[in-house]
Amino acid sequence: MKKHLLLLSLFNLFYVVDSFAQTTSTEQGFENIVNLPGWVLSNQSDPIGETSWFQGTTNHFVAQAGDFDSYISANFNNTGGEEGSSGTICNYLIMPDLGNVESVSFFSRSIKASNNFNVYPDRLYLVYSPTGEINTGNCTDGFGDFTEILLIINEDLTEEEEAPEGYPLINWQQFSSDIMGDGRIAFVYYVEDAGFYGANSNKIGIDTVEWTLSFPEPQIIFTAGFE
């Protein structure tokens, strides 16, 4: 018995159990875009227009969920220009620093022209900064620290009504991407030949952004101290 007590005293054996592996989802519904803790809005369009990201409006379409105007939107006025000339929309909506993100999903849509016939194509990128830095590019030459492209809606700026051929025009559609990293994620509204006089760009909405965070697998660590 004394030997057993002596061994316990010498080794002072104990263990620590890490937290169990788990995932937790959370979301942003854009009820009030003035209050978006950790989010960064950065319009790098050339030339800069009258609008950036703005609260959803009900005159074109309503939110995917929640109050009718509870979505975030951007439109052709993100870029300006002289009469008869177009611009390039390059408008960033950067998500907060969330830690180790496993996946992200969101809903998005666009609209037809006011005559309900013509289509002015829109495009949206989902990009990732592995370092977590959020320096933006001008889109034409790259996306700055956001060096990885996760997803593109309507890459070729087609006039088709449904993704993936085009931007969903009639109804909200959900998109998703796996991440598996602890960098930063951004939405980029990127459209060339855009603006009031351009052949492309109208209005887009983003709603119900959901993300899943990943936690470590459980570990049992045995530590022996010799005292």
pLDDT score, position 217: 58
Rounded to an integer, what distance in angstroms lies between the CA atom of residue 112 and that of residue 207? 19
Residue type at position 65: A
Helix/strand/coil (H/E/C) assignment for every residue in 17-50 = ECCCCCEEEEEECCCCCCCCCCCEEEECCECECC
Task: Output 150-154 pairs: Cβ under 8 A, ≥24 positions apart.
Answer: 150/126, 150/177, 150/179, 150/185, 151/125, 151/126, 151/175, 151/177, 152/123, 152/124, 152/125, 152/126, 153/108, 153/122, 153/123, 153/124, 153/125, 154/121, 154/122, 154/123, 154/124
pLDDT score, position 4: 45
Contact indicator for 195, 89 with CB cutoff of 8 Å: yes
pLDDT score, position 8: 38
Query: Domain ranges in the chain?
Result: 2-223
Instruction: Determine the topology of domain 2-223 in CATH.
Output: Jelly Rolls (2.60.120)
Residues 6 or more apart whose CB falls under 8 angstroms from that of 142 comprise none
Structure tokens at 61: 């379409």
How many helices and strands in the chain, by DSSP H and E? 1, 13
pLDDT per residue, tens digit, the chain (227 aa), is 433 443 434 334 333 334 444 556 699 999 999 999 999 999 999 999 999 999 999 999 999 999 999 999 999 999 998 899 999 999 999 999 999 999 999 999 999 999 999 999 999 999 999 999 999 999 999 999 999 999 999 999 999 988 888 999 999 999 999 997 899 999 999 999 999 999 999 999 999 999 999 876 555 544 444 44
Structure tokens at 39: 């989010």
Residues 6 or more apart whose CB falls under 8 angstroms from that of 164 comprise 153, 154
pLDDT score, position 23: 59
Q: Which residues of 107-137 are buried (b: 16+ CB within 10 A; e: fewer)?
A: bbbbbbeeeeeebbbbbbbbbbbeeeebebb
